Amino acid sequence: MIVRPRIRSSIVVLATALTIGVAVMAVPAFAAPENEGSACAAPTLPDAGSLPTNAKLPDPFRKLDGTRITTRAEWTCRRNEIKRLAEKFVYGEKPARPQSVTGTVSSTSITVNVTDQGRSSSFSARVELPSGTGPFPAVVVLGGFGADTAAIKAAGAAVINYDPYAVGKEGTGRSNKQGAFYSIYGATSPTGLLMAWSWGVSRIIDVLEQSGGSVLRADATGVTGCSRFGKGAFVIGAFDQRITLTMPIESGTAGAPIFRGVPGEGAQSLSSAYGEQPWLGDAFGTFTGSPNRLPVDTHQIAAMVAPRGLFIMDNPHIANLGPRSASVAALGAAEVYRALGAGDNISYWSDVSDGTHCADRAEWRTPLQQNIRKFLLKTGNDPGAIRISSRAQGRLADWVDWTTPALDGSTPPPTTPPPTTPPPTAGGACAATASLNAWTGGFVATIKVTAGATAVNGWSVGVTLPAGTTISNSWNVTRSATSGAVRFGNVEFNGRIAAGASTEFGFQGNGSYGNPVLTCTSP
């Protein structure tokens, strides 16, 4: 794992600490790193006119000089290269920390005052505390529209209700951008709204750092949002390394889905997303019809979060959201996490039954609280999960021509994907087939159980996994073991299958699936 620099200058607090809040003064520019790569040599970025066409996802491990990183320590500067590419070609530049940031933190609100380049602006956010005694970690919820706030507070974290429109307003033209960000950096700034929203959350964290931690902890901040605010949460977590947990939900085009995959999936087109609102930077306009020219894609943006916590929640029922392309982005980012020795810190979950956009889903409540405990409260260590719905499964192997390096001389994970689905094997009155989503060192298997000519009332599926393969998680099923010969059995709600109908269960494994034979039997 990468060791984060924690060297900080002492900060003078101007005002008296009050029962309801703390007033704070401007923070020095070196107080905390938004970007640990700021000390890296400035990379020479390509010009837009010289970019080659590449239908495959860019190699996240290949530096701009053409060499590949070989150690985990090199990720800091490689990440900085990805950041600079993303700013230049996708989102627009995120300015360096302003000259002055002041504000207050109380049990009900946060105020932020910013001065930079001779201009000033202000905004505020509402705070909701959980029960118990603080100081509390906090999750920034964009627009009141993100992960279940009741579940967040029940897990022991506060909620910071952040209004992105106060910082970057929608409904404006690209030459007349408005909000606190553009009051300082100009209405014609080429920086898009998503990066402006990111800047705003960074300024909130500045104020939290200065507050002394009497109400909210500055070292334990998460971010979440759904739909357009999911796009914002995705960018916010990538561009501030002080955020310890990033949780975008159903972010759609301009969020998690790979740009290269959007045109072929039936998702909102790149030109539509670019034109609907100035979410993306102005420079992205030249790529809406040619995403294969981009030198960066969203698997790398997601990888910028590594090794911090990342929990992407998605909806496989709405093709317009690009869930298949989002799963590819997550699988690509997972390769970076695993190379850094942090494979348990990333989750992607689209295996949900309710297709309503931005619904509070029961399937997400437990992993949401597990992530909060692990990354914000530091009281848990549950591994991440890759739960991709069979409705919208992307295959990373279709999009990459690179392999994952063994950093620091560690044993390289296998790079050959498992074989495709084996043929159905009948047993008694039912048959079982498997579909796979594989990545280096792991996979998700979705098993379909189909009844024959007569209805099935109870079933079991047997499989013998290859040596070294273990099951880390399973759903909609009981199981007899985690390795070797495993027998899966139905649970109460899926035991009865009508003639010719089917049901599904799944499991996540470490290692390779191999090519085992499935046997299905019914009483």
**Segment 131-142, tens digit of pLDDT:** 999 899 999 999
One domain, residues 31 and 113: yes
Q: What is the dihedral of CA 237, 241, 244, 246, to 10 degrees?
A: 10
Q: Structural domain tally of the chain?
A: 2
Rounded Cα–Cα distance for residues 377 and 221 (Å): 10
Task: Note the pLDDT tens digit of each residue in 392-401.
Answer: 999 999 999 9
356 and 460 assigned to the same domain? no
In this model, does residue 256 exceed pLDDT 90? yes
Q: Are 201 and 89 in the same domain?
A: yes
Q: Do both 335 and 441 map to the same domain?
A: no
pLDDT tens by residue, 405-434: 999 866 444 433 333 333 333 345 899 998
Structural domain of residue 238, as residue ranges?
Answer: 21-48+59-376
CATH code (residue 255): 3.40.50.1820
The CATH number of whichever domain residue 460 belongs to comes to 2.60.40.290
- The catalytic residues are 227, 357
Instruction: Provide the 10 A C-beta neighbour count for residue 423.
Output: 8
pLDDT at 89: 98
Residue 230 sits in the same domain as residue 105: yes
Q: Are residues 367 and 464 in the same domain?
A: no
Q: Does any domain span residue 12?
A: no
**Is pLDDT of 8 > 70?**
no
Count CB neighbours of 468 within 10 A: 10
Q: Does residue 194 share a domain with residue 290?
A: yes
Angle at 486 between CA 481 and CA 492, to 5 degrees: 80
Environment class of 255 (CB within 10 Å of its CB; exposed 0-12, middle 13-18, buried 19+): buried
Residue 315 lies in a domain: yes
pLDDT digits (tens, 9 = 90+) for 112-164: 999 999 999 999 999 999 999 989 999 999 998 888 999 999 999 999 999 99
**Same domain? 286 vs 430:** no
CB 142 within 8 A of CB 232: yes
- Asked whether residue 121 is assigned to any structural domain, the reply reads yes
State yes or no: pLDDT of 333 exceeds 50: yes
Flag whether pLDDT at 7 surpasses 70.
no
pTM of the model: 0.78
> In the prediction, which pLDDT does 410 show?
61
- Count of CB atoms situated within 10 Å of the CB of 10: 6
pLDDT at residue 417, as a whole number: 38
Note whether 137 and 215 are within 8 A (CB): no
DSSP 457-475: ES-EEEEEPPTT-EEEEEE
Which two structure tokens, joined as six digits, stand for 116?
A: 């930079």
Give yes or no: residues 429 and 281 share one domain: no
The answer to whether residue 118 sits within a structural domain is yes
User: Comparing C-alpha atoms, which of 463, 462, 457, 452 is closest to residue 428?
Assistant: 452
Provide the b/e sequence for 195-207 (b: ≥16 CB within 10 Å). bbbbbbbbbbbbb
